[in-house]
Structure 1
Amino acid sequence: MSSVTSSLKVTRNYKFRLYPNKEQESQLLRWLETCRWIYNTALAQRKETWERERRTVTRIEQQVWLKEAKKTDEHLREIHSQVAQEVLFRVERAFAAFFRRVKNGETPGYPRFKGRGRYKSITFTQFGEGKGASFQDGKLRLSKIGLVKIKLHREIHGTIKTVIVKRDAAGKWWAVFAVEKELTQSQANNGPAVGLDAGLEKFAALSDGSIIENPRHLRKTEKRLKHAQRNLSRKVKGSRNREKARQKLARLHAKIHNQRRDFLHKQSRRLVETYGLIAVEKLNIKGMVKNHRLAKSISDAGWGEFMAMLEYKAAEAGARLVKVNPSGTSQECSGCGMDVPKELSERTHYCPYCGLILDRDVNAARNILKKALALEAA
């Protein structure tokens, strides 16, 4: 590959742990409940107006309503204006997604009202000195909240556009910064080309014969999850013991999520730093998870998240990610190109025409690479 100079603007999220004091946490919880009320009220307005007048209430109309409502509601006046206004944008996005699904013939899924405890984040849409959120003395300054302790475990590169303050199911607080940065690539990655076949038996097989084993984070913790779920179901609703059991279950789910993301980040980073061209399949993951026998294993593997990581990390590293049609990659012989049908249970590819014997997933990875190279040459 030759040297290239290119510039690309991308948005990245940086997530850091927050440690609000008791007073700040109490205030943040009140804000979440107020935002939940705004969301549900705005949703009800749209629903009732459509049923009564057969027209859609616009966000501008609802912004006027919110401005008037603040005059008589002290809870609305307590929260920052950016945070309150952003709730209306969420309602608008929820309806836009609903109408898009209707248009595409998908299951529509009408926007739902948020129950108590179901509204988990607030957004400051501007960041910087004199704005809704900023850094001050090594802490995160949130307007009307104050200085909140934050663990900045890594440096932020780029321009912070927004910050989301969220509370997870285990009761921990986080700040998620949306950061815009410009990537300048002065040199392409000149590493070798590789094909990658994602699977369930193995996480992935590469065309060079190497294997990435499937860690199965969910499966390994399944017994503990079932025990925690049973323990929760036995507790009296509204009791302290039930809340403790709920938090224990939430911590287990959070641990699995963090383990999976750590694994995916490390593997995707290793691949883009090692290879100059990475060929993968175009996977219809939404369609695949409809298979109830495989849905849990597919979700546990995290293919969709992995592909998204590969895509943006390849752009940063100067590598190329090429997606190909997976049709026939498992049945075709990578050695002679002949069709060699095999059942899913057959894990070894044996070609009766050229005598090639190798792992069926490695064979598929080689075919994926062939397709990608053909696309590049076209």
Structure 2
Amino acid sequence: MRIAYQYKLLPSTLQLVTMNRWLDMLRQQYNWMLADWFDWWEMNRCLVNACPLVCNIAEPREKPEYYGQKRSLVRLKRDRPWYKEIHSQVLQDMVKRVKLAFARYLKGDCNGKRSGKLRFKGVNRYRSFTYPQASIDWIDSNKIELPKIGAVKVVWHRPLPPGFEVKSAILSRKADGWYITLSLQDDSVPEQTIDVVPNWDNSIGLDMGLEHFVADSEGELIDYPRFLRQAKSKLAKLQQKCDARPKGSVARKKLSQRIARLHQKIARQRYQFHCETANQLLIKADVVFVEDFNLSNMTKRCKPKQDENGTFLPNGQAAKAGLNKSFADAGISQFVNQILPFKAEKAGKRRIKVNPTGTSQHCCVCLNRVPKELSDRWHSCPECKAEMPRDTNSGVLIKKVGLGLASLKKAQRATARKEARALCVGTSLP
């Protein structure tokens, strides 16, 4: 079993300067190696028979590869002796990052999902470096001995679990200082296998939204505190002050740090709320059914509208921008795809995704189709007379679809069913 624990570092002034200097040197070498990959890619991605007739065909060159770039570090240290300050394994891990980043750009990850075109790292975009082979022997009381950096104070806010071995250490720079993430492994602890069989009594259905963050199938509604909206006025004042300061000035940098720390606080509040909500839901059930939706499609820009003369017309993007901001503030994707499955697996429970198509337009009791606009927040079925909040109805229907008790592919309008019944008996509608 492998887990990760993160702790706050309290480095001295000299150690702080050393770590920042390492980051800058690693960033520059990362950009150089990435440029080497791009140079090879631009020269070799097009076949000879597909090139235009009038062009300069570059001489073929060998493809940059992981071990070749690692061997180039020997020449790098000879030509630039200041790179000898960096621990050798930290420098080699930087080469591995280049390889993995470009591989995902070309081939994609294990799910086939490709990343966008890689960007060169700016000063504030390369924020961490890794010791691939850490050891428990580095820890001494309230300090941790980092090679070529020295003994750095650590805030041990929780003890390391006994029996685990330290495998690697990642040092990351955040808005409020430096942190270390220790990767721990214990081979004696097997990976957990979850074999919970869902049924009506041990499961629950969740409908995610903005009016109510979570509406479950038992009728409970959980609202989101809207942390970003609460800090909106404070953020606006800080950003106005920051924009008024000259670029590159000390005052502007200090205000930028205050803005970054405020955003970090909002992110931590959101993360804590998500964890508490996940724990609250997992206490009630062993299996949680959630919507399998793509939030990136829900936050796309509205398509532009033009009249006959080509003049652009209002398309509702101003209102959509506020909706997208609310989606980002709620962090629904983070909750559904990261925190909830992690908490469920840790507790020996399951999170199952369900196709949400039609769950808001059908009745959870009789499966009659009840069309609703987005502004309609109450479900009222004319067929079975069911009355409940719209989100609760969706939560119950998600649970039924997840358990296989309902199929919305066969659900029809009440009038459509009457028409089909009339055609079967050969009579007209009353």
Once residues 375 and 89 of structure 1 are traced to their aligned partners in structure 2, the CA distance between those partners, rounded to angstroms, is 49
Residues 122-151 of structure 1, C-alpha deviations (whole Å, 9 max, x = no match): 111112157xxx322232221111111111
The aligned amino acid for 2:375 is S
Once residues 279 and 4 of structure 2 are traced to their aligned partners in structure 1, the CA distance between those partners, rounded to angstroms, is 16
- 1:153 is aligned to 2:157: yes
- SS of the aligned residue for 1:71 comes to helix
- 1:109 is aligned to 2:116: yes
- 1:127 is aligned to 2:137: no
Once residues 213 and 69 of structure 1 are traced to their aligned partners in structure 2, the CA distance between those partners, rounded to angstroms, is 55
Q: Which residue of structure 2 aligns with residue 303 of structure 1?
A: 332
Shift of 1:300: 1.1
Once residues 271 and 301 of structure 1 are traced to their aligned partners in structure 2, the CA distance between those partners, rounded to angstroms, is 17
Cα distance change of structure 1 residues 205 and 238 upon mapping to structure 2, 3 Å threshold: same
Shift of 1:185: 6.7
Q: Which residue of structure 2 aligns with residue 3 of structure 1?
A: none
Once residues 227 and 6 of structure 2 are traced to their aligned partners in structure 1, the CA distance between those partners, rounded to angstroms, is 22
Once residues 187 and 279 of structure 1 are traced to their aligned partners in structure 2, the CA distance between those partners, rounded to angstroms, is 16
Q: Which residue of structure 2 aligns with residue 355 of structure 1?
A: 385
Once residues 92 and 240 of structure 1 are traced to their aligned partners in structure 2, the CA distance between those partners, rounded to angstroms, is 37
Cα distance change of structure 1 residues 151 and 233 upon mapping to structure 2, 3 Å threshold: same
Shift of 1:375: 8.0
Q: Which residue of structure 2 aligns with residue 142 of structure 1?
A: 146
- SS of the aligned residue for 1:26 comes to helix
CA contact (8 A) 1:123 1:163 kept: yes
Once residues 202 and 179 of structure 1 are traced to their aligned partners in structure 2, the CA distance between those partners, rounded to angstroms, is 38
What TM-score results when the alignment is normalised by the length of structure 1?
A: 0.89
The aligned amino acid for 2:181 is V
- 1:84 is aligned to 2:91: yes
Shift of 1:184: 4.6
Tell me how many residue pairs correspond in the alignment.
Answer: 362
Shift of 1:207: 0.4
Task: Spell out the pairing of 1:163-312 with structure 2 (5 A cutoff).
Answer: 163-168=169-174, 170-180=175-185, 182=189, 183-184=191-192, 192-291=202-301, 293=321, 294-307=323-336, 308-312=338-342
Cα distance change of structure 1 residues 26 and 116 upon mapping to structure 2, 3 Å threshold: same
Q: Which residue of structure 2 aligns with residue 5 of structure 1?
A: none
Q: Which residue of structure 2 aligns with residue 4 of structure 1?
A: none
Q: Which residue of structure 1 aligns with residue 314 of structure 2?
A: none
- 1:12 is aligned to 2:3: yes
Once residues 227 and 348 of structure 2 are traced to their aligned partners in structure 1, the CA distance between those partners, rounded to angstroms, is 31
- Flag structure 1 segments of 5+ consecutive residues without an equivalent: 1-8
- SS of the aligned residue for 2:231 comes to helix
CA contact (8 A) 1:163 1:175 kept: yes
What TM-score results when the alignment is normalised by the length of structure 2?
A: 0.78
The aligned amino acid for 1:175 is I
The aligned amino acid for 1:34 is M
Cα distance change of structure 1 residues 153 and 129 upon mapping to structure 2, 3 Å threshold: closer
Once residues 180 and 355 of structure 2 are traced to their aligned partners in structure 1, the CA distance between those partners, rounded to angstroms, is 39
Counterpart of 2:78 (choices 42, 62, 71) is: 71
Once residues 248 and 29 of structure 2 are traced to their aligned partners in structure 1, the CA distance between those partners, rounded to angstroms, is 25
Cα distance change of structure 1 residues 186 and 356 upon mapping to structure 2, 3 Å threshold: closer
Shift of 1:187: 9.5
The aligned amino acid for 1:222 is K
Once residues 213 and 13 of structure 1 are traced to their aligned partners in structure 2, the CA distance between those partners, rounded to angstroms, is 30
Once residues 14 and 66 of structure 1 are traced to their aligned partners in structure 2, the CA distance between those partners, rounded to angstroms, is 31
Moved more, 266-275 or 211-220: 266-275
Once residues 291 and 185 of structure 2 are traced to their aligned partners in structure 1, the CA distance between those partners, rounded to angstroms, is 29
Cα distance change of structure 1 residues 96 and 295 upon mapping to structure 2, 3 Å threshold: farther
Once residues 224 and 296 of structure 2 are traced to their aligned partners in structure 1, the CA distance between those partners, rounded to angstroms, is 20
Once residues 152 and 79 of structure 2 are traced to their aligned partners in structure 1, the CA distance between those partners, rounded to angstroms, is 29
Cα distance change of structure 1 residues 201 and 126 upon mapping to structure 2, 3 Å threshold: same
Shift of 1:109: 3.0
- Over the matched positions of the two proteins, sequence identity in percent amounts to 37
Once residues 107 and 63 of structure 1 are traced to their aligned partners in structure 2, the CA distance between those partners, rounded to angstroms, is 25
- SS of the aligned residue for 2:392 comes to helix
- SS of the aligned residue for 2:8 comes to strand
- SS of the aligned residue for 1:196 comes to strand
Once residues 195 and 112 of structure 2 are traced to their aligned partners in structure 1, the CA distance between those partners, rounded to angstroms, is 44
Residues 262-295 of structure 1, C-alpha deviations (whole Å, 9 max, x = no match): 1111111222233111111112122223245332
Once residues 68 and 15 of structure 2 are traced to their aligned partners in structure 1, the CA distance between those partners, rounded to angstroms, is 32
Q: Which residue of structure 1 aligns with residue 316 of structure 2?
A: none
Q: Which residue of structure 1 aligns with residue 371 of structure 2?
A: 341
Shift of 1:189: 10
CA contact (8 A) 1:126 1:161 kept: yes
Q: Which residue of structure 2 aligns with residue 313 of structure 1?
A: 343
- 1:42 is aligned to 2:2: no
Q: Which residue of structure 1 aligns with residue 12 of structure 2?
A: 21
Cα distance change of structure 1 residues 219 and 155 upon mapping to structure 2, 3 Å threshold: same
Residues 334-364 of structure 1, C-alpha deviations (whole Å, 9 max, x = no match): 1111111111100000000011110100000
Once residues 63 and 339 of structure 1 are traced to their aligned partners in structure 2, the CA distance between those partners, rounded to angstroms, is 62
CA contact (8 A) 1:189 1:319 kept: no
- Flag structure 2 segments of 5+ consecutive residues without an equivalent: 44-57, 302-319, 407-430
The aligned amino acid for 2:279 is R
